Amino acid sequence: MDRRDIEFDADGTTLRGWFYRAAGAAGPAPTIVMAHGFSAVKEQYLDGFAEMFAAAGLNALVYDHRNLGASDGEPRQEMDPWAQVRDYRSAITYAATLATTDRERIGVWGTSYSGGHALVVAAIDRRVKCVVAQVPHISGSESGRRRVRPDQLPGLLARFDADREARFRGEPPGLFPVVAADPAAPCALPGADCWEFFDGSTTRAPSWRNQVTLRTLEMAREYEPGVYVPRISPTPLLLIVAPHDRLTPPDLMLEAYERALQPKRLVLLPGGHFDPYIAGLAEAGGAARDWFVQHLAG
């Protein structure tokens, strides 16, 4: 597989990742811009998707979000969803400068939190000619309401307020665990499947950190990418939903799909939120590959 390391500027911050060259391409080829979900880095199984795309004649540009993994940015472990949306657009700009990219055939792929970003970017950036959103984040307010136990919510909101005052005094941002082995322990992504995915991928992704800033959680609760879904058309949209997803509620994804206009396609993938990365990679990656090939390489 032809893969090289890349880096590019995103509003003054250097982002780093990989570029996979489309197999058999003699000239410019379609390019898929990709990034991972909440707190995750590219080594956590994005190479499998990129390799499938490259084998089908599609370039793949994979990068780490700012403040995470190999990319620069401060404060570390902070995820501002709108900064990440702007970085997707910077990645598209970078991809368009490459001689190996057909700038009229650029697609975006996102998963989980970045699946929400993919929806927003496809709606606001017409350079995007095709989009795949895998188990995407749809509504911060509704997901937050379901994810945080009612008895823990007052304490979390109080921590947000205290953290804001501490930052005002010049102190470093507070941190919060992403996942926890104890199902009763407060964390950003509760559930045994969340712990198993992240804890099980630490060997292949040593740059991943089990913490995010408290401000990350506050911004996530305010982020509503689902409202952009009706604006994606006429860009072709593929939505991949796991019916047993306990992290990004399937009913929110299905409601978003109903609001989307044509052309669109829905794929229901057996299993839960993390199955597409490993057990369901062939099906999830294959559906995305075929959608991109149909609309970008056909």
Question: What string of DSSP letters covers 171-209?
Answer: PPPPEE-S--SSTTS--SS-SHHHHHHHHHTTTT-TT--
Which element (helix H / strand E) includes 188? none
pTM: 0.96
Q: What angle do CA 86, 90, 96 make, to 5 degrees?
A: 145
Structural domains present in the chain = 3-141+224-297 (3.40.50.1820)
The pLDDT of residue 236 is: 98
Identify whether 234 is preceded by a cis peptide bond (ω within 30 of 0): yes
Distance CA 91, CA 64 (A): 11
Contact 32, 101 (CB under 8 A): no
The pLDDT of residue 70 is: 98
Q: What angle do CA 246, 249, 255 make, to 5 degrees?
A: 160
Local confidence pLDDT in tens for the 298 residues of the chain:
799 999 999 999 999 999 999 999 999 999 999 999 999 999 999 999 999 999 999 999 999 999 999 999 999 999 999 999 999 999 999 999 999 999 999 999 999 999 999 999 999 999 999 999 999 999 999 988 877 778 888 888 899 999 999 999 999 999 999 999 998 898 999 999 999 999 999 999 999 999 999 999 999 999 999 999 999 999 999 999 999 999 999 999 999 999 999 999 999 999 999 999 999 999 999 999 999 999 999 7
Distance CA 198, CA 274 (A): 10
Of residues 284, 283, 21, the one with CA closest to residue 135: 284
> E strands of 147-210, at which residues?
175-176
Distance CA 60, CA 139 (A): 28
Distance CA 14, CA 121 (A): 20
